Amino acid sequence: MPTDWPVAAEYNEGQDADTDAATSLANSILTLRSALIGDRIKLLPQDFTLPGNVTLLPRLSNDTTPANGVAAGGSRVWATVNIPAGYKATAFRLYGSNTADVCAIYECDISGAAATSKGTGTLAAEVAMTSVSATSTNFLLIKWDGGAATLLYGGYVLIEET
Q: Per mean pLDDT, which range of 29-33, 83-87, 141-145 is the poorest?
A: 29-33
pTM score of the predicted model: 0.72
CB 151 within 8 A of CB 102: no
pLDDT digits (tens, 9 = 90+) for 40-77: 999 988 888 877 655 555 555 555 555 677 777 777 88
Residue 147 sits at the vertex; the CA angle it makes with 43 and 123, to the nearest 5 degrees, is 45
The CATH number of whichever domain residue 130 belongs to comes to 2.60.120
Domain total for the chain?
2
pLDDT of residue 42: 94
Taking the C-alpha atoms of residue 50 and residue 78, their distance in angstroms, rounded to an integer, is 6
Q: Which residues contact 97 (CB under 8 A, 6 or more apart)?
A: 69, 150, 151, 153
pLDDT digits (tens, 9 = 90+) for 94-126: 999 899 999 999 999 999 999 999 999 999 999
Same domain, yes or no: 127 and 61: yes
Q: Which residues contact 63 (CB under 8 A, 6 or more apart)?
A: none
Taking the C-alpha atoms of residue 154 and residue 133, their distance in angstroms, rounded to an integer, is 23
Residue 19 sits at the vertex; the CA angle it makes with 16 and 21, to the nearest 5 degrees, is 135
Same domain, yes or no: 29 and 54: no
- Residue span of the structural domain in which 103 resides: 39-161
Same domain, yes or no: 95 and 62: yes
CB 108 within 8 A of CB 115: yes
Largest interatomic CA distance in the chain: 55
Phi, psi at residue 32, to the nearest 5°? -65, -45
